[in-house]
Amino acid sequence: MKTRFLLLFSILLIILLSAYPARENVANAQSPKKFAVLLQRVYLDGDISEECIEETIWSMEDFWSKYENWQLVNMDSHQFVFKQEMDDISPLLKANGYFGVSDEGVLGVYNGKPNKSNIIQSFFQIDLEKLESTQQKSLQNGIPIKNKNRYVEVLETFKSLDTNNLAN
């Protein structure tokens, strides 16, 4: 009877041990995964900055919650790409951005004081004859852009002089 009991107990033990993976395999299954994460920030002025970081992911739930305010654009087995629309102007414009006008009368944003070679973005043609002389001089010298409010304010000021709007 004891022999049968020991034999039955041994068989049950072998079955149970083979049904559960070894602790070493369990540890490997829960080991962190490393991924590249590309963060794209899209600013009001159209500039896009990219930051690439390496993330160690212990829990996908924690990972997704970390990027809940980002839009997933792409992912593959090695990388996640997220995008976020920023309600601000780019650091470049804050540091060195100027509004100016080209020789043809097109309002634009420049990297530094306005000249032909450093234009970042063009907006619309302005009727230069309708500008006050101080406005014209300000645009020729460059109007510094230091923050979002100034950016929006200047665009709104000159939008009424857009030659496309005047034609309608």
Cite the beta strand spans of the chain per DSSP E. 33-42, 48-57, 71-75, 79-85, 97-101, 106-111, 119-125, 143-145
Question: Are residues 61 and 47 located together in one domain of the fold?
Answer: yes
The CA radius of gyration of the chain, in Å to the nearest whole number, is 31
What is the number of domains present in the chain?
2
Parallel/antiparallel/unpaired status of strands 79-85 and 33-42: parallel
Give the range of the structural domain holding residue 129, as residue numbers without chain letter.
91-167
Position 26 scores a pLDDT of: 46
Q: Does pTM top 0.75 for this prediction?
A: no
CATH of the domain at 128: 3.30.70.1740
Query: Does residue 124 or residue 9 have the better pLDDT?
Result: 124
Asked whether residue 3 is assigned to any structural domain, the reply reads no
Query: pLDDT (tens digit, 9 = 90+) per residue, 83-101?
Result: 999 999 999 999 999 999 9
Distances (CA, A) of 39 to 55, 72, 80, 84, 90: 12, 10, 9, 8, 15
Question: Are residues 63 and 81 located together in one domain of the fold?
Answer: yes
Question: Are residues 162 and 106 located together in one domain of the fold?
Answer: yes
* β-sheet bridge partners, residue 52: 38
Question: Are residues 160 and 128 located together in one domain of the fold?
Answer: yes
Beta carbons of 82 and 74 less than 8 angstroms apart: no
Question: Are residues 135 and 108 located together in one domain of the fold?
Answer: yes
Q: Would you state the structure tokens that stand for residue 82, as one six-digit string? A: 């997220």
Share the mean pLDDT of the chain. Answer: 83
Question: Are residues 96 and 158 located together in one domain of the fold?
Answer: yes
Tell which of 41, 61, 87 closes a domain: 87
Query: pLDDT (tens digit, 9 = 90+) per residue, 58-87?
Result: 998 999 999 999 999 999 989 999 999 999
CATH of the domain at 67: 3.10.20.420
Asked whether residue 12 is assigned to any structural domain, the reply reads no
Asked whether residue 111 is assigned to any structural domain, the reply reads yes
